[in-house]
Amino acid sequence: MDVEALICSIQAVPAIWDASHPKHSDRQYINDSWSQICDALGIPESVARKKYNSLRDHSRTELKKVPHVKSGDPGLLPEEYTSIWPFFKMMFFLKDQMLGRKISGNL
């Protein structure tokens, strides 16, 4: 299986990975999108979904390794982090989905 082609194909369909996308909750659209991706790549849908879930989980693990920068501290940005995992840069489009929301309070 060509993992890079799978990643590029998934990245091209934001409804699959972007929870804020209007079609993200449309199961029929998501299933059709997965079918199109798998037909184009010639792989079974169950294999592609399982591989994507594995890649997404590994990407989350790698993002947790990025050192956090405190305000005013000239530190390392997540974009500058160098991972030994070969798909880190390709999966970086998921960064905003994986990083938590900013929390604000009145204290």
Cα separation, 104 vs 60, whole angstroms:
23
Is residue 87 situated within a structural domain?
yes
Q: Kindly report the number of other CB atoms within 10 A of residue 65's CB atom.
A: 10
Distance CA 107, CA 61 (A): 31
Mean pLDDT, the chain cut into blocks of 10 residues (107 residues total): 92 93 94 96 96 93 75 60 80 80 57
What's the pLDDT at 97?
81
The whole-number pLDDT of residue 88 equals 84
Looking at residue 62, its pLDDT comes to 85
User: Total domain count for the chain?
Assistant: 1
Is the sign of the CA dihedral 66, 67, 70, 74 positive or negative? negative
How many H helices and E strands in the chain?
A: 5, 0
Q: Whole-angstrom distance between the N-terminal and C-terminal Cα of the chain?
A: 51
Query: 21 lies in a domain?
Result: yes
Residue 15 lies in a domain: yes
- Count CB neighbours of 55 within 10 A: 19
User: In this structure, are residues 75 and 69 in contact, taking their beta carbons and an 8 Å threshold?
Assistant: yes
Give the predicted TM-score (pTM) of the model.
0.79
Q: State the sign of the Cα–Cα–Cα–Cα dihedral 52, 53, 56, 61.
A: negative
pLDDT score of 95: 83
Looking at residue 103, its pLDDT comes to: 54
d(CA 27, CA 95): 23
Domain with 64, as residue range(s), is 3-98
Decide if 83 is inside a domain. Answer: yes
